[in-house]
């Protein structure tokens, strides 16, 4: 029996999350903006129809926004992450084999569920997510992950499929005709970067790539694209990764809401970013052996003095302690800081990560101090989890934080903050 893999994708995820809690946005053109309300990172279908591209700076489309009453919202990452977790939890009940691919996509292994009728089974998924969460999703089903991605694309773009497309239900000739209508750039892993090179070889559609010589593709490109050709022919080369691989680096950085001139505010920002990165490190049950700190001015203001610098510092011993990591970050910041510049971004990167259970004891270890550090971080994390991130913070992070990124258009955290829970009024 051939494999049956489904790719479930939430439609216009950020915008759809906003519409769940603000039904007045339904049918209206909506964009979600990046950090500091800089660029468009999500668009409703109404905005796409106006020709607004992904990543377009907000200031460039303000006139268009006024003309068409486009609603612009700041990114609400806490809301999106929580809604994503709910979607993935629901989908996990449909199959024991699940790979969460991104915040709004996951693969499911539907092998053994064929007796339900896979298209009907996928419609059940869609309706359950819509009923419980209010989010629209599309489902693509095929014998490989690459084909499932394409099937999802068809389900989303062609209304006749009612948001579910099962390539396994197609006759071979019928499927080839469909693949011959899809540009090769839509193939997972090809995109805009490789499409022109493939086009120069006469490979312009998905069907062209499917029929291409694997050996020639490997010679001209890579073994990765050769596997893609195999996947397009229904030969699975990419298995489901049910456990997400541990990150090899953890980065925490943000652009400032306003230029930062002094060292004191830079220290607040760097310490705040370090604490955020340390939390991610502990959630991964890992330790960092080095920390990288960087600062920079605005490279787009060419008439202003420019400065960009970073430094990597090894740590005395691998750790996930926020205090220890902050000391290292601040030491690095003092080394690279130069007065007289208007800084617009800073960040930290935790590197040389190892699993916490593989830490090698050293001659200078103090078991009592290690126990206190572990206990303190556990208490800190539990309190912030229970009462909201930032309830307890390091003193050096500051209270007012004028440098924080702009998010003046952000919606409430409806599902993660008790004070911002949506209220329904009876008529």
Q: Verify whether residue 105 is a known catalytic residue.
A: yes
Give the closest residue to 308 by CA, choosing from 329, 293, 328.
293
Question: Which two tokens mark 31?
Answer: 């964009």
Asked if 21 and 415 count as a contact pair (C-beta separation under 8 A), the reply is no
**Residues 58, 38: Cα–Cα separation, whole Å:** 6
Going by their DSSP bridges, the two strands 105-109 and 98-102 should be labelled as: antiparallel
Which H or E run includes 32?
strand 30-33
Q: Which of 144, 126, 143 lies closest to 135, judged by CA?
A: 126
Report the DSSP pairing between strands 30-33 and 71-74: parallel
Catalytic site residue from 46, 99, 105, 265: 105
- Could you give the C-alpha distances from 141 to 88, 111, 122, 182, in angstroms and in order? 17, 11, 9, 17
Do residues 68 and 7 lie in contact, with contact meaning Cβ atoms separated by under 8 Å?
Answer: no
* CA gap 18, 89 in Å, rounded: 20
DSSP per position, 160-220? GGTTEEEGGGS-HHHHHHHHTTSBGGGSTTTHHHHHHHHHHTT--BHHHHHTS-HHHHHHH
> Exposure pattern of 390-404 as b/e (b: 16+ CB <10 Å)?
eeebeebbbeeeebb
Beta-sheet pairing, 30-33 with 40-43: antiparallel
Structure tokens at 347: 């960040």
- Cβ 369 vs Cβ 321: under 8 Å: no
Q: Which token pair is 196? A: 């022109």
Please, are residues 97 and 240 in contact by the beta-carbon 8 Å criterion?
yes
Which residues are marked as active site?
105
């Amino acid at each position: 029996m051939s494999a049956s893999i489904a790719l479930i994708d939430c439609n216009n995820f950020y915008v759809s999350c906003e519409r769940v809690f603000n039904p007045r946005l339904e049918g209206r053109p909506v964009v979600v903006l990046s950090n500091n309300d800089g660029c468009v990172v999500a668009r409703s279908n109404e905005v796409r129809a106006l020709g607004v591209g992904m990543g377009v700076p907000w200031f460039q489309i303000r006139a268009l926004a006024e003309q068409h009453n486009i609603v612009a919202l700041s990114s609400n990452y806490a809301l999106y992450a929580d809604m994503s977790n709910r979607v993935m939890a629901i989908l996990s009940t449909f199959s024991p084999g699940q790979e969460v691919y991104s915040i709004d996509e996951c693969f499911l292994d539907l092998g053994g569920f064929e007796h339900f009728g896979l298209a009907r089974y996928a419609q059940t998924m869609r309706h359950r997510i819509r009923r419980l969460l209010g989010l629209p999703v599309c489902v693509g089903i095929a014998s490989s992950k690459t084909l499932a991605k394409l099937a999802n694309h068809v389900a989303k773009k062609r209304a006749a499929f009612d948001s579910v497309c099962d390539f396994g239900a197609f006759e071979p000739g019928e499927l080839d005709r469909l693949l011959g209508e899809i540009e090769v750039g839509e193939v997972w892993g090809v995109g805009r970067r490789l499409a022109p090179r493939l086009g120069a070889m006469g490979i312009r559609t998905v069907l062209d790539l499917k029929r291409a010589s694997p050996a020639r593709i490997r010679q001209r490109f890579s073994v990765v694209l050769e596997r893609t050709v195999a996947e397009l022919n229904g030969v699975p080369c990419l298995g489901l990764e049910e456990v997400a691989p541990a990150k090899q680096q953890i980065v925490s950085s943000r652009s400032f809401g306003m230029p930062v001139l002094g060292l004191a505010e830079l220290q607040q920002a760097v310490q705040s970013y370090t604490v955020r990165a340390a939390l991610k490190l502990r959630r991964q049950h890992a330790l960092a052996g080095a920390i990288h700190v960087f600062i920079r001015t605005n490279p787009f203001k060419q008439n202003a003095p420019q400065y960009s610098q970073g430094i990597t510092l090894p740590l005395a011993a691998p750790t996930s302690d926020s205090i220890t990591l902050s000391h290292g970050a601040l030491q690095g910041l003092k080394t690279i800081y130069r007065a007289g510049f208007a800084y617009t971004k800073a960040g930290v990167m935790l590197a040389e990560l190892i699993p916490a259970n593989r830490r090698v004891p050293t001659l200078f270890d103090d078991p009592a101090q290690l126990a206190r550090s572990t206990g303190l971080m556990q208490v800190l994390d539990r309190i912030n989890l229970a009462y909201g991130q930032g309830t307890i913070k390091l003193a050096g992070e500051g209270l007012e934080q004028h440098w924080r990124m702009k998010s003046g258009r952000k919606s409430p955290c409806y599902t993660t903050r008790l004070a911002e829970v949506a209220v329904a009024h009876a008529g």
